[in-house]
Amino acid sequence: MKLTDAGLKAIAADERGSQSIPSTAVPQNTNEDSSKAKTAANMVAAPSATVAPTATAPRQGTKIARVIELLQRDQGAKLEELIAATGWLPHTARAALTGLRHRGYDVRLERGETGRASIYRAIATLAASA
């Protein structure tokens, strides 16, 4: 097993931060070594730019589709209604609402007055309709 100069530098960079080490006398005299290095270099993905999420429509008939329908009604939906419609536990229903926010839906919570339940409402973002 051979360690190339590039591999050695990569290991040293991980261990010592951004410091580089001097080149060693490891010869790269076979085409196999250079093809492995090229393949490894091609496998490293460049960081992608952050893209704003857009609301994507879920498949028809799924639980999350039913949740979106309930949230988009004029009266919105109470947490208890979401739980009854999906069979999920309360923490799962709230996590689904967070997931919808990540998918680009504008999910809002309107706090109920004393003794009244809070209402959740959702609309798709403008980016989805464009």
Domains in the chain and their CATH numbers? Answer: 5-43 (no CATH), 63-129 (1.10.10.10)
User: Are residues 103 and 53 in contact, defined by beta-carbon separation less than 8 angstroms?
Assistant: yes
Find the mean pLDDT for residues 28-32.
Answer: 56
- Pairwise CA distance, residues 69 & 43, whole Å: 42
Pair of tokens at residue 121: 């409402």
Provide the pLDDT for residue 5. 85
Q: What is the pTM of this model?
A: 0.53
Beta bridge partners of 77: 120
When pLDDT is averaged across residues 30-57 and rounded to a whole number, the result is 55
Element (H, E) at 106: strand 105-110
Is residue 96 very low, low, confident or very high in pLDDT (cuts 50, 70, 90)? very high
Quote the pLDDT of residue 57.
Answer: 79
Do the beta carbons of residue 82 and residue 99 sit within 8 Å? no
